[in-house]
Amino acid sequence: MLSNHFVVQKITSDSQVMLYQAHKENLVWHFESNTSPNNTNGKEYFPFVFDESIRVSPSRAGSETSAFVRNQKYVVFNDKYAVPSGIVIGILFPEGFAPTVFKFVERPTIPVGVPRNTSVSPPGYFDVFYNRNTRQSAIVFMIGSPTYFEFKCLARYWNEGFPEQEYSSSGNDTLQLTLNSENIGKTHISTNDLLNFSSYFKEGANLETIQKDINRLIDLVENNNRAENKDELSALKKSLGSMIFVTEFSSAIVQLMDSYYGGGVVHKIIAKVLAYLMM
């Protein structure tokens, strides 16, 4: 693949974020998805691979970037990006971790007088890459035009197995990506399933409405009806988001993700939806 500038954001097991930057006109790079652990070439940014002639400069991330590794079970990552065109950004997770909750946060835009229904091309694309042999994963942003955005995600540790490079994430809704990794199938939740999560909802929140909205989200994700139901999906996110109340985001995410490992598929789906909406 080609770019003009590449930045690898490597999250370490002690919650640090190291940067590895490479710059060259028509810079050639790839993500090595099949290499075994014995052939990593000792590069700190592997499985990202650049031509040997390219100089890669290390540094540390700034204050706009944060990562939190909790009990070697999951990672919470957040960053604000103000970047030019032609740049590729790779978020490289610690060994054994793979992203499981994805969310873009809209930033204020300068009005340009474009009619509301006018089609606008996205400033870039993103994908998720895996190397099952080395148990490494990365989220990659490929930026086509100057942009400013915020991105948040959760990655969890895989005790057994690891995701494979089997499909491209580009073009999918981030909530769809978040739920797809649980193989939700025809799963639906009941109001009783929500009782264990009642502390995350506003006082007086209607559990039947929440149940109905989450089940509809599951249907939309399972049927992959993104184009036909984009407005409905946005309305469901807004409706569910309005019913959530937490006094301290960090502690709420800790409790929610700690509980994620103790339940079945239904429990994991609810935990993921709530984590997505809280981020």
Higher pLDDT, 220 or 172: 220
Identity (one letter) of the amino acid at 62?
A: G
Supply the pTM of this predicted model.
0.85
The tokens of 98 are what?
A: 């793979």
Instruction: Tell me how far apart the alpha carbons of residues 144 and 85 are, in angstroms, rounded to a whole number.
Output: 5
Averaged pLDDT, 265-278 = 84
pLDDT band, residue 7 (cuts 50/70/90)? very high
Instruction: Tell me how far apart the alpha carbons of residues 118 and 114 are, in angstroms, rounded to a whole number.
Output: 7
Instruction: Tell me how far apart the alpha carbons of residues 9 and 247 are, in angstroms, rounded to a whole number.
Output: 30
b/e map 108-120, b = 16+ CB within 10 Å: eeeeeeeeeeeee
Question: 184-234 pLDDT, tens per residue?
Answer: 556 788 999 998 888 888 888 899 999 999 888 888 877 765 556 778 888
Q: What pLDDT is attached to residue 121?
A: 74
pLDDT band, residue 96 (cuts 50/70/90)? very high
Higher pLDDT, 268 or 69: 69
Predicted confidence (pLDDT) at residue 169 exceeds the cutoff of 60: no
Task: Using a pLDDT cut of 90, give the percent of the chain over it.
Answer: 41
pLDDT band, residue 8 (cuts 50/70/90)? very high
The tokens of 84 are what?
A: 């030019």
Question: 76-92 pLDDT, tens per residue?
Answer: 999 999 999 999 999 99
